[in-house]
Chain A
Amino acid sequence: MSILIDKNTKVITQGITGATGLFHAQGARDYGTQMVGGVTPGKGGTSVDGFPIFNTVEDAVKETGATASVIYVPPIGSADAIMEAVDAGIELVICITEGVPVLDMVKVNKYMECRNSRLVGPNCPGVITPGECKIGIMPGYIHKPGPVGVLSRSGTLTYEAVWQLTSRDIGQTTCVGIGGDPVNGTSHLDVLKMFEADPETKAVIMIGEIGGDAEEQAAEYVRDHMSKPVAAFIAGATAPAGKRMGHAGAIISGGKGDAASKKAFLRECGVSVADSPADMAEALLKIWQP
C-alpha cells in the first residue's frame, strides 16, 4: 500500500512535446511508471519516443484509461491544463509548473469544488511511491520502499530528507511534494490524513516553510487525530520579514508565519521538530524506531 499512486497507476503527460515534459516522461518510464501517453493540442495522432499523443485530455483518457496526469505546460496555460484534466475525470492531477499566477489558482480551486479530482501542486516536484511509480521531477534512485511517509512544500529539501532516511536504510511509502505556492491543491493536512489512513505508513516526516498557517493546521490534526509519530522541519528561521524567499508562499507578513512560532506550535502538538535541516531523520528516530 501507499498513498495516491502505485504500480497500477496509468499516467499521461500534459505538455509532453516540450523538452522538460518529454525528459521527465522518459525518466518516469525508466523508473517503471506506466506512462501511457501525452497531450499536446495539434499533435494528436502522432507519437514521440513511443508515447502516443492526443489533442485533448478527454481523448487521452478514452484511449489509454489514464487516471493520473502530470502537467509541464508553461504558466500561461497551466490553469487551463489543470481544469481540462479535471473535466476529463482524471483523479489525480499533478502540476509541476512553477510560476502560475495566484489568481489563476484561486479560480482553479473554485472550479474543483464539487468535482472528484485531487490536485497536487503547482510548483512542486511531484509524487513518488518508491519502487512502484514516480510522477514528477525527483531523482528516483535516492528513494527506497519502506515505512515512512514524506511530505513537503519544497523539492530539494524533500530530497534531503529522503536521502537522510535512505542512507540510514529506512525506506518510504510515498513522498509528496505539495508545492511552494500560497494557493495550491493538496495541503499538508490532506496528506497527513492519507498517511494516517494508510496501513503501511508507520511514521511521517513533514517539511514546512515560513508563511501562512498550513503547518499549524496540520499540527492540530497530529495532536487531535493522528496515531503515528510525526517529525518536522520548518525552513526559513533566518528569512527576513516581508521578503519572498523564492517560493511565492514563503513570506512572513504582518509578523505571522515565522519559523519560531511555527516550530513552537508543532512541538506543543507533539511533533518532533528538528532545528537543523541535517537532523530531519534523527528527529524522527528520536520518537520512532523502524
Chain B
Amino acid sequence: MNIHEYQAKAILRYFGVPVPEGHVVYNSNSARDWAKRLGDGPWAVKAQIHAGGRGKGGGVKIAKTADEVKQYARQMFGMTLVTHQTGPEGKIVKRVLVEEGSNIADEYYVSFLVDRTTDKVTLMASAEGGMNIEEVAAKTPEKLFFEAIDPVVGLTAFQARKVAFKLGFAMPQVKQAVPVLMNLYKAFVESDCSLLEINPLIQTAEGKLICLDAKLNFDDNALFRHLRIRDLRDYEEEDPMEIEAGQYDLSYISLDGNIGCMVNGAGLAMATMDIIQLHGASPANFLDVGGSATVERVTEAFKIILSDKKVEGILVNIFGGIMKCDVIATGVVEAAKQVGIKIPLVVRLEGTNVDLGKKILAKSGLDIVSADGMADAAEKIVKAVNG
C-alpha cells in the first residue's frame, strides 16, 4: 500500500525524525491560511499524488508570499499531473501540502528496503541526493553505500556512523544523522514498510538535517496489524476496478490490451498473459481468482473483466488443483446469465473435475470455444478477436 507524502511525514515525525512543519489542505483559501500560521515564508506548495517526479510536472512550487501560496495551490487543485510514474493519463490533484521552506545547502539520498539476496532489511545511502537513484545505481554504483541490518539487533549506532561518514558529513551532522537513521529504521520495522525512501535528506545552510521528502510503501500482508496505517489508504489514487476486485479477494491488475484473462494462480496468470502476447495480441488484465474461489467470486471476476470497455474477448485458463473445474464452469455460466457475454469466450480447463466442468459449459447453451492446452487457447482467442 502507498500513502501520500504528508501522511508519511506524519508517521516519521511520530518516530522522532525531523521533517518540515506543514499541513495538508483541500482548497486554496486554507492553503493561504495555513501558510500564515506556519510562519513568514518562503513556503513549499506540493501536490499530493501517489507518484514521484512531481516537480518536473509543475506539482512542486516555492512561494514567497501567502498570496502566492494560494495562487499556486489554486493552479494545482484539479490539475492532471503527468510524471514518469503516473502513466500518460496522469493523476488529478485533490490534496496539497503547504510546508515551511528550507534553506538547502546539500542533498542526500537514504532508503530502507528488504534485500532479497541477503533476506535482510538494508540501508541504502548516497551523497547524490535529489537525483533519480536508479540512474546513480546504474552509472556510478560506487556512490551508493549499503548496510545490511541484523533483524535481532536492529540498525546499530556504529553502522549509522559508518554511513554518515561515507556521506561526507562533518561531526555535528554525523551526530544528527545517527539518531535520524536509527529512527528511520525503527519507523520501517514498526510500520512493516516495504520501502522507506528519503529523497532528499537535506543539510540546511544552518547545518540542520531534515527529511525534505518522504515515500513510504507498506507490506499489504502486514496491514492486519496496522489498522491506523490501513485507514490512510486513498482509494481515489487507485484503479476503481482493482479496488472492486480486492473486495472479492481477487488479485486484479488492469493493463492496456484487449484480451481479458481469468486464471487461477499468479504464476499461471502471468504465463497466460505472456502466451497471449506470443500469439500477437495483448492482455487487458492480470487476474488471479485464487485457489479456493467460490462460484460467487468467479462470477464477480467475470463481471469485472467485462466492465473493462477495452476487452474484446476473454480467455479463461484454469488448472484445477484445489480449485475445481466445475466451480469455474458454474461461475462462468452464472456470470454469462447475469451480464450477458457478447464477445468471444475461450475456455481451457484442466485438472480436478475437468470432465464435469466441460459438461456444464456444453450444456449451458452459451457460445463458448473450448481449448486443449495453453497454446491452443491463446491461438483461438487471438484469432477470434483479431480475425
Contact = CB atoms under 8 A, between A and B. Distances in A.
A129 interface: no
A48 interface: no
A254 interface: yes
A163 B319 contact: yes
Contacts of B288: 246
A255 B382 CA distance: 29
Interface stretch (A7-15, A50-58, A82-90, A99-107): A99-107
Contact of B271 (A20, A106, A235, A255): A235
A237 B373 CA distance: 20
Interface string A4-27: 000000000000000010000000
A68 interface: no
B321 A157 contact: no
Given A142-B351, A246-B251, A278-B275, A154 B268 contact: yes
Contact of A277 (B192, B219, B271, B320): B271
Contacts of B189: 103
Contact of B116 (A158, A210, A212, A240): A212
A238 B266 contact: no
Interface string B209-247: 000000000011110110000000000000000000000
Interface string B343-387: 000000011100000000000000000000111001000000000
Contacts of B268: 154-157, 159-160, 235, 277
Q: Which of A104, A183, A276 has the most CB of B within 10 A?
A: A276
B321 A278 contact: no
Nearest to A234: B274
B150 interface: yes
A3 interface: no
Interface in A261-280: 275-279
Nearest to A277: B271
Nearest to B113: A253
B374 A278 contact: yes
Contacts of A213: 116-117
Interface of B: 85, 114, 116-117, 119-121, 134, 137-138, 150-152, 189, 192, 194, 219-222, 224-225, 251, 253, 255, 263-278, 282-283, 286, 288, 291-292, 319-322, 350-352, 373-375, 378
Contacts of A247: 266-267
Given A183-B119, A213-B117, A248 B269 contact: no
Contacts of A276: 274-275, 278, 374-375
Given A106-B121, A246-B288, A250-B270, A156 B265 contact: yes
B319 A160 contact: yes
Interface in A132-149: 137-139, 142
A238 B375 contact: no
A209 interface: yes
Contacts, number: 172
Contacts of B352: 139
A283 to B, nearest CB: 13
A82 to B, nearest CB: 14
A205 interface: no
11 contacts: A76-B224, A101-B225, A103-B192, A106-B151, A153-B267, A183-B116, A207-B267, A235-B268, A235-B274, A248-B221, A276-B375
A38 interface: no
Interface of A: 20, 75-76, 99-107, 109-110, 125, 137-139, 142, 152-160, 163, 180, 182-183, 207, 209-214, 233, 235-240, 242-243, 245-250, 254-255, 259, 275-279
B255 A180 contact: no
Contacts of B319: 156, 159-160, 163
A239 B278 CA distance: 13
Contact of B274 (A99, A155, A237): A237
Contacts of A210: 270
Given A155-B291, A212-B116, A247-B267, A137 B221 contact: no
A9 B119 CA distance: 29
Q: Which of B134, B276, B321 has the most CB of A within 10 A?
A: B321
Contact of A235 (B119, B251, B267, B378): B267
Contacts of A138: 321
B375 to A, nearest CB: 4
A211 B267 CA distance: 12
Contacts of B277: 237-238
B192 A246 contact: no
Given A106-B121, A155-B291, A233-B271, A180 B374 contact: no
Contacts of B119: 105-106, 109-110, 183
Given A142-B351, A180-B266, 9 more contacts: A76-B224, A110-B152, A156-B263, A163-B319, A235-B267, A236-B270, A237-B274, A246-B251, A250-B266
B264 A156 contact: yes
A275 B275 CA distance: 8
Contact of A102 (B221, B282, B320): B221
Given A102-B221, A275-B278, A238 B283 contact: yes
B153 to A, nearest CB: 10
A106 B120 contact: yes
A239 B276 CA distance: 12
B266 A137 contact: no
Nearest to B273: A238
List 9 tightest A-B contacts by C-beta distance, closest first. Answer: A154-B267, A246-B266, A156-B265, A157-B267, A101-B222, A277-B271, A278-B375, A156-B268, A235-B270
A123 to B, nearest CB: 9
Contact of A240 (B120, B255, B274): B255
Contacts of B222: 101-104
B192 A155 contact: no
